Amino acid sequence: MELWQSLVISSAMPLVLIVSGLFTRIGLPKKVNWFVGYRTSMACKNQETWVFAHRHAGKLWIICGFVWLILSIGVAILIDNEAYLWLGVVAIAQLVTVILSLIPTEIALRKEFDKNGKRRP
């Protein structure tokens, strides 16, 4: 595998994270829906929880995206041409990061809002 191929493969997920984070930070999607966006039961309680969840998750996704972009480029440059295993490990770790980013966002939602979606005093 050529270096440019390794760079493209290993950088795809971080770039998607960064772009998704930027879109959610600017407020897209605008309204609560079950089709696009950060969709958990707590985030979809009302418009206020929806906006809060997207801003929080968006910030995490941007940070994680940049960290993974740097790490992924480093791995792609450092591995030899036949080290497909490392690209797989990086891809799985990136996916796990995306899934784990749900945890701090859900914790923040529960600290800020009660179970009915009302902001805590």
Closest CA to 50 of 101, 105, 96, 90: 105
CA distance 61 to 99: 11
Contacts of 47 (CB under 8 A, 6+ apart): 31, 32
- Model confidence over 10-60: pLDDT tens digits? 899 999 999 999 998 887 788 998 888 899 999 999 999 999 999 999 999
Domain chopping of the chain, boundaries? 3-112
pTM of the shown model: 0.87
Both tokens assigned to 110: 């529960």
Count Cβ neighbours within 10 Å for each residue of 89-108 and write b for 16 or more, e otherwise: ebeeebeebbeebeeebbeb
Query: Residue 95 has which token pair?
Result: 């996916």
